[in-house]
Structure 1
Amino acid sequence: DHAVVTRIRPDGDEAVSYRRRPGAALQVHGRSALPPMSDAPRPGREPWDRAERRAIAASSAGSLFAVTRGGHGELHILDAADAGATMRTVRLPTALNEGGHLAWLTRGEGDAHGHDLVGR
């Protein structure tokens, strides 16, 4: 019942969570400020030219989601159900250039070896 998107903007990046209740339209549930990327897309250039990005993945079993900070080697974990929740940051040994790639796998999903069968 949750969906999350990220917005990369010159005045500050954010994750926006949406919630849909039965019989109702999709509504903004919360916004979380994200740390800026030093090489984010800039006005006047194509957004994919020499720019970092973010990747996002969500848990199918709950309201947690993860978003990368491209070029900085950081993964931020947030809770879409709790708009005021504190963001947790995991530092990774790679820069996650161009945002990296994410898939959130839960034990028991995929094949017997834990491979993602969706083909993201």
Structure 2
Amino acid sequence: MSDNELPLERKQEEEGYRLLYDVMKHLTTISTGTLVILVSFLTKVFSQPEWVYLIPVVMVSFLISIVSSLFSMLYISDAIQKVEMNENTKTYAQNSYLVAGGSFIMGIIMLIVFATKNLI
């Protein structure tokens, strides 16, 4: 079945998945970049940081975000490839998306708290 033969609803759903895939791709890039910058800051900027217990929380949050984003991208690419959408694939993609977004937000918040405590 060619792309022109697909019903409008299916095309819209597929486009939504493609956009979500792009969001996950950007989230993975931002999380990875943040980890690299964090490690650089820790070694160069903060000689004796306070509240160091936040660092593992931040790093784990971003790692969870990266892994969840990758799983979400796998599920989404699988859903786009199939003509019939599988409900399990949709559920897994949505759950991965929520975990990735939630852990990213948690990591950003903890990073802001850490930076605020150490820079002020």
Shorter-chain TM-score bucket reads under 0.3
**Larger RCO (alpha carbons 8 Å, 6+ apart):** 2
- TM-score of the superposition, structure 2-length normalised? 0.21
- TM-score of the superposition, structure 1-length normalised? 0.21
Structure with greater strand share of residues: 1
Structure with greater helix share of residues: 2
